[in-house]
Amino acid sequence: MRIYTNSDEAILNLDIISLESQNIKGINFHRAFLDKIKIKKTFVENSDFRNAIFNDTIIINSSFKDSVFIMSEFENVRISNSNFENCKMRFSNFQNSLITDTYFKSSDMKTANFKNTILFNTIFENIENSQSINFDNAYYNIKTQLPKGVDPKEKKMLFIDNEIDEKYIIIKKEFNNNKSYDEKHPLREFDIFVKNNLNNLNKDDNNSFLLHLILSNIILQYKVIFKDFADRTDKFIKNRNTYLKDYSNKNREKIKLLIENYNENIQLSRKY
């Protein structure tokens, strides 16, 4: 973390990779570089984040209150189960981010930018200057509550109405936001799954089954990048297709319905 004032020389340079379970009050983070760190279970109040950089940061179960985020950069961030209340967020940039189960309340968001951002299960309440917010190509679902008076069609937003597409879009967003295949890459879990389940899929865990069904289709599109496990992925896909054929005859109505609609839904997802 690097903090600047009015010069190009950092007045504070700390080797911080996470802020977890912290209570922060009245701190000046003006022009701070808080990029690529994890903020978890942290409460922030009455602090100054003007022009601060949060790019590629992960924010989980955290709360920001009575703080200033004017012209702050949140590009490619992941925010979940967090709150921003009574904050000044004019000209803040959340472009290309993944924001879920998050609450923006009583904040000034003049010209804030949420272009190409996922906003599933996110609530905007009592937002000032909401008409100037950029929501171009932002994704929302039935649990998203947009600012009062904002027309999603006029803002060119994309409504996602089913769980399959939601999961597909989230996973693909995580994939595209990662620059390299490392231990933090969203497909790492899939790689491990492939190694351990070449000849077996969990027929009793619908969520796991559906998740890896989606992941396997994503990896088919991008597997050339990951040559180290392309061969075993091919084998997994072959086994998966056999499994689908057999499983479609099982008397499990819920998963049968998902499978019947799967190909249609996944093709719809790919256009996003």
Cα separation, 13 vs 16, in Å, equals 9
Long-range contacts of 76-83 (CB under 8 A, 24+ apart): 76/177, 78/174, 78/177
pLDDT band (50, 70, 90) for residue 166? confident
Question: pTM of the entire structure?
Answer: 0.71
Lowest mean pLDDT among 34-43, 148-157, 234-243: 234-243
Residues in a beta bridge with 79? 59, 99
Q: Are 6 and 25 in contact (CB under 8 A)?
A: no
- 1-161 maps to which CATH number? 2.160.20.80
Q: Are 14 and 34 in contact (CB under 8 A)?
A: no
Burial of 6: CB neighbours in 10 Å, binned 0-12, 13-18, 19+: exposed
Each domain of the chain, given as residue ranges in start order, spans 1-161, 163-269
pLDDT band (50, 70, 90) for residue 63? very high
Q: Are 96 and 74 in contact (CB under 8 A)?
A: no
Assigned token pair, 93:
């940039």
SS (H, E, C) 205-271: CHHHHHHHHHHHHHHHHHHHHCHHHHHHHHHHHHHHHHHHHHHCCCCCHHHHHHHHHHHHHHHHHCC
**Residue with the two structure tokens 């790019």:** 55
What confidence tens digit (pLDDT) does each residue in 235-245 have?
A: 655 655 555 55
pLDDT band (50, 70, 90) for residue 134? very high
- For residue 139, give the nearest of 162, 122, 121, 116 by alpha carbon: 116
